[in-house]
Chain A
Amino acid sequence: KAGVTQTPRYLIKTRGQQVTLSCSPISGHRSVSWYQQTPGQGLQFLFEYFSETQRNKGNFPGRFSGRQFSNSRSEMNVSTLELGDSALYLCASSSRTGDTEAFFGQGTRLTVV
């Protein structure tokens, strides 16, 4: 079956702009989590959605938001972009929450200039 698909793969934005990233999970998976990965901080948890409800949220400012649709597809939005938001944004899907493997997409490389 198809894996986790993230679009776009690469994005260049200017400070102050906003951006929306998309994630299509594996068919049948209802849990979608988002992570930010940078060389200095590693993988940091942003939020998790399960059946359209946000179940968990990491320690990121309110400029970072997300949502999940009824077909489990998810989007994350970052408003008022800052240079420090440049990172690889990864989406992971799971069949359920908890002690189960997560399947990651290839990520969206966001560069803020």
Chain B
Amino acid sequence: SQKIEQNSEALNIQEGKTATLTCNYTNYSPAYLQWYRQDPGRGPVFLLLIRENEKEKRKERLKVTFDTTLKQSLFHITASQPADSATYLCALGYGNNRLAFGKGNQVVVIP
């Protein structure tokens, strides 16, 4: 069956360190992958999109990689700040413009 896996355990990280989140998938052939941030009680906010023919994308302190052989994406937040504390969702774009989301991984940045 199709699965998108993100770590269900919260990632606690010291301010200033790099947070790295993993998104693994099975039985999907995504044409692209997106990362969103979601704060409690709010809708997700788009962060980055990476296409299947791209290896890496950066935006300010954020970096995402996409390995279609490993069926994995890594999401990095460098120089993390308490304001980065949130839940981060990966989403796969596949098929006829469908978007499938992982359940999210919570990040807690400790001052």
Seen from chain A, the residues whose Cβ lies within 8 Å of a Cβ on chain B are: 4, 33, 35, 41-45, 48, 55-56, 90, 92, 97-107
Contacts and interface: CB of A to CB of B under 8 A. Distances in A.
Interface of B is mostly: strand
Interface stretch (B9-17, B44-52, B71-79): B44-52
Contacts, number: 56
A51 B69 CA distance: 36
Interface residues of B, number: 24
Interface of B: 31-32, 34, 36, 41-46, 49, 51, 89, 91, 93, 96-104
A97 B46 contact: no
Nearest to B31: A99
24 contacts: A42-B89, A42-B102, A43-B44, A43-B103, A45-B99, A45-B100, A55-B96, A55-B97, A56-B97, A90-B43, A92-B43, A99-B49, A99-B93, A100-B49, A101-B34, A101-B46, A102-B46, A104-B36, A104-B43, A104-B45, A106-B42, A106-B43, A107-B42, A107-B43
A90 B31 CA distance: 23
B44 A104 contact: yes
Contacts of B100: 45
B74 to A, nearest CB: 19
B90 to A, nearest CB: 11
